Amino acid sequence: MRIKSLEEYHLEKENFEEKPENFWEEKAKKFVWYRKWDEVLNWDFKSANVEWFKGGKLNITENCLDRHLKNNGDRIAIKWIANNPNEKNIELSYKELHLQVCKFSNVLKSKGINKGDRICLYMPMVPELAIAVLACARIGAIHSVVFAGFSAKSLSDRINDATCKALITSDGGFRGDKITPLKSIADEALRSTPSIEFCIVLERTKSTIDMKDNRDFWWQDEMKNVNINCTPEEMNSEDKLFILYTSGSTGKPKGIVHTTAGYMIYTQYSFENVFQYQENDLYWCTADIGWITGHSYIIYGPLLAGATTVMFEGVPTYPDAGRFWKIVEENKINIFYTAPTAIRALEAKGNEYVRKYNLSSLKVLGTVGEPINEDAWNWYYNEIGNKKCPIVDTWWQTETGGIMISNLAGINKEKATFATLPLPGIKACIVDDKGAELEQNNIEGKLCVKYPWPSMARTIYGDHQRYFNTYFSAFPGKYFSGDGCFKNEEGLFRITGRVDDVIIVSGHNLGTAEIESAIDEHQNVCESAIVGYPHNIKGNGLFAFIICHQKPKKDDEINLEINNLITKHVGPIAKVDSFLYVDGLPKTRSGKIMRRILRKIASGITEDLGDTSTLLDPAVVEKIITEVKNNK
Ligand code: WT7
């Protein structure tokens, strides 16, 4: 299945161009199906409806687990590395993982979970999280993983949006020298989640917690006397596999829905090809399973490929900034996939942490989540890869399910800061503001995809209209990513960042609307506007322009209070880095905040702010600039 040379790469592109459905059908044949599909693809971007492999029946866990048992049952499926360097690692073979998944599937079934029920997972990075994800998939329950850094409010919002029937959590989670009190946060969330019937709690940190009779059950107890056999549920190709929430430009987070067959085919295909995975490679993706990267490239992609996937519980800087490299050396990691924010943070700590370790096992390096700047790219290439490892700069999104634009490691050309080219099978294009496709090189515009791909999101849970509006209405007939893109003279793609009101901070997607509404909860705040500005480590920092009823004094506690409100409503991942208290915000006559101007001011630009003629009151801008100068 893997593309092994540049010739094969071009051939694959040609095959796809000639017969796109045939191209994907060939890939689909490699999997175990209970019933073959009747139709490869059915699509209409005008109504945002896409179906792949209709009529087919399958189960993704049959393909992740059972399929490998006969020949590779003893191969390690998950190699888990604890937060505490002195705690023993855990290795789960495919056989053992299969067993655990079957057992937990039966636990869920015995508690009344049926196909189609939604289950929320709020867990630390422990093997049981992967086990729970796969158990849901095995019985046809739809998993909704909520990143363990989100607040009680964010958790309950997500549970309620999907009307989840059960919550799987743990007493707490280890992260560096801290413990996240997951169960007590969950308890707070569960006060306002009427759909939850029960909660299963994994013991991890042995923290003191409350267990509510008849609602809360210990994972370890439930797993004791349970049947070890579980036949996978026969799923239709288009049955929902999972929901994963992501921030939008406006309104509450969107429950992105992925379905079974297409997601399966594309995650294995992209995993094997982008990373050039070869049998017995040890692969480590440092993401959290709470994000799409963890779903597709810690769990599904690698397991579908029969690989050993490393799962790390901790953080890059604990016990010190050499932790990643120590893990690479000790485990002889071959393929390493991380985010620019981690690369920049570790670079800033100095090379002595890197040079202490032998990184010669590395063959391929990957990056994802935000644009990687040239300096970070060079450091990654020179210091981590020792100038011998190709870097795959992988552009994709929660909505795309898998990697869309990237070089294939060592196969086609790489270039610092460029994601390079769409994978064979992906028709990405750049359009101007009116939606006209810009086919020539050396242009900049908005990044779209004009033909369906198997792992694309199918809808937003409970709101198909919003799915259409968000992705298919700006440029009719095309999927719009929300990103800007430059194509150089060779036709290589470089992602320039979001063109909407989503800000990516340390690789996390933050919606301005969510943060602003948290800020507006403060009793002294009338209105606020959040924008991003360039930040050395985080990629973007958050800059808040705030109008107060009573203008705060310099030494006021208000900054802290506002950040606490954001932690409460969104989670500790979002924090305002710079505050400016202003008298007015630049608004258009239709009342929309002109963020373009605020973005410039936030990044230190006070002249040539562009066209301000549509502002209701252009004088507001002058006042803000004066405030910035006074604040220095
Ligand atoms: C947004 C999607 C996909 C997994 C992690 C993020 C940005 C992602 C790159 C890259 C430049 C990138 C885009 C995209 N992004 N990868 N290689 N180069 N930008 O998933 O949270 O859904 O965020 O991340 O802006 O739209 P996500």
Residue 539 beta carbon below 6 angstroms from any ligand 1 atom: no
Q: Whose CA is nearest to atom 18 of ligand 1?
A: 371
> Residue 440 carries which DSSP code?
S
Q: Whose CA is nearest to atom 6 of ligand 1?
A: 369
CATH assignment of the domain containing 518: 3.30.300.30
Q: Whose CA is nearest to atom 24 of ligand 1?
A: 369
Beta-strand pair 502-505/493-498: unpaired
Residue 495 beta carbon below 6 angstroms from any ligand 1 atom: yes
Instruction: Using the atom order of ligand 1, give the atom closest to the CA of residue 419.
Output: 17
Instruction: Using the atom order of ligand 1, give the atom closest to the CA of residue 393.
Output: 17
Better-predicted residue by pLDDT, 574 or 396: 396
Residue 545 beta carbon below 6 angstroms from any ligand 1 atom: no
Determine the distance separating the centroid of ligand 1 and the alpha carbon of 495, expressed in angstroms.
9
Q: Is the pLDDT of residue 477 over 80?
A: yes
C-alpha distances in angstroms, 473 versus 46, 114, 426, 459, 483? 8, 35, 20, 14, 15
CA 591 distance to own-chain centroid: 32
Encoded tokens for 46:
């005008």
Average pLDDT over residues 100-129: 98
Q: Whose CA is nearest to atom 8 of ligand 1?
A: 369
**Per-residue confidence band for 615, with pLDDT thresholds at 50, 70 and 90:** confident
Instruction: Using the atom order of ligand 1, give the atom closest to the CA of residue 405.
Output: 17
Q: Are 215 and 478 in contact (CB under 8 A)?
A: no
Q: Is the pLDDT of residue 631 over 90?
A: no
Residue 313 beta carbon below 6 angstroms from any ligand 1 atom: no
Residue 148 lies in a domain: no
pLDDT at 206: 98
Average pLDDT over residues 142-154: 95
pLDDT at 607: 85
Q: What burial class does residue 553 get, using C-beta atoms within 10 Å of its C-beta: 0-12 exposed, 13-18 middle, 19+ buried?
A: exposed
Tokens 């994963």 belong to 244
Residue 417 beta carbon below 6 angstroms from any ligand 1 atom: no
Which amino acid is present at 449?
Answer: V
Distance of alpha carbon 418 from alpha carbon 396, whole angstroms: 13
Spell out where 155-229 has E strands: 166-170, 173-175, 178-180, 198-202, 216-218
Determine the distance separating the centroid of ligand 1 and the alpha carbon of 292, expressed in angstroms.
10
Instruction: Please give the tally of structural domains in the chain.
Output: 1
Residue 403 beta carbon below 6 angstroms from any ligand 1 atom: no
Per-residue model confidence as pLDDT tens digits over 222-244: 999 999 999 999 999 999 999 99
Q: Are 223 and 478 in contact (CB under 8 A)?
A: no
**Residue 529, SS3?**
strand
Per-residue model confidence as pLDDT tens digits over 445-471: 999 999 999 999 999 999 999 999 999
pLDDT at 539: 92
Q: Are 233 and 59 in contact (CB under 8 A)?
A: yes
Distance of alpha carbon 44 from alpha carbon 353, whole angstroms: 52
Average pLDDT over residues 117-136: 98
Average pLDDT over residues 394-399: 98
Query: Cβ atoms within 10 A of the Cβ of 462, count?
Result: 13
Residue 368 beta carbon below 6 angstroms from any ligand 1 atom: yes
Residues 6+ apart with CB under 8 A from 93: 73, 74, 75, 76, 77
Distance of alpha carbon 214 from alpha carbon 196, whole angstroms: 12
**Nearest CA among 197, 157, 251 for reference residue 467:** 251
Q: Is the pLDDT of residue 260 over 80?
A: yes
Average pLDDT over residues 111-118: 98
Average pLDDT over residues 591-600: 87
Residue 180 lies in a domain: no
Bridge partners for 142 per DSSP: 118
Q: Is the pLDDT of residue 588 over 90?
A: no
Q: How many CA atoms lie within 13 A of 210 on its CB side?
A: 9
Per-residue model confidence as pLDDT tens digits over 36-79: 999 999 999 999 999 999 999 999 999 999 999 999 999 999 99
Residue 391 beta carbon below 6 angstroms from any ligand 1 atom: no
pLDDT at 574: 87
Distance of alpha carbon 447 from alpha carbon 478, whole angstroms: 10
Residues 6+ apart with CB under 8 A from 449: 400, 404, 426, 427, 428, 429, 456, 478, 479, 481
Q: Is the pLDDT of residue 83 over 80?
A: yes
Determine the distance separating the centroid of ligand 1 and the alpha carbon of 541, expressed in angstroms.
16
Residue 577 lies in a domain: yes
Task: Give phi and psi for 572, each to the nearest 5.
Answer: -70, -5
pLDDT at 555: 67
Residue 506 beta carbon below 6 angstroms from any ligand 1 atom: no
Kindly state the helix (H) or strand (E) to which residue 383 belongs, with its residue range.
none
Residue 109 lies in a domain: no
Pocket test for ligand 1, best of 368, 403, 421 (most atoms within 8 A of CB): 368
Per-residue model confidence as pLDDT tens digits over 173-210: 999 999 999 999 999 999 999 999 999 999 999 999 99
Pocket test for ligand 1, best of 377, 455, 504, 538 (most atoms within 8 A of CB): 504
Domain span holding position 550: 502-630
Residue 464 lies in a domain: no
Determine the distance separating the centroid of ligand 1 and the alpha carbon of 482, expressed in angstroms.
10
Residue 315 lies in a domain: no
Per-residue model confidence as pLDDT tens digits over 303-342: 999 999 999 999 999 999 999 999 999 999 999 999 999 9
Q: Whose CA is nearest to atom 7 of ligand 1?
A: 370
Per-residue model confidence as pLDDT tens digits over 486-535: 999 999 999 998 888 889 999 898 888 889 989 999 999 989 999 999 99
Spell out where 75-205 has E strands: 76-81, 90-93, 118-122, 142-145, 166-170, 173-175, 178-180, 198-202
Pocket test for ligand 1, best of 394, 396, 400, 446 (most atoms within 8 A of CB): 396
Bridge partners for 437 per DSSP: 431
Q: Whose CA is nearest to atom 17 of ligand 1?
A: 395
Residue 231 lies in a domain: no
**Residue 475, SS3?**
coil
Q: Are 498 and 231 in contact (CB under 8 A)?
A: no
Residue 561 lies in a domain: yes
**Per-residue confidence band for 213, with pLDDT thresholds at 50, 70 and 90:** very high
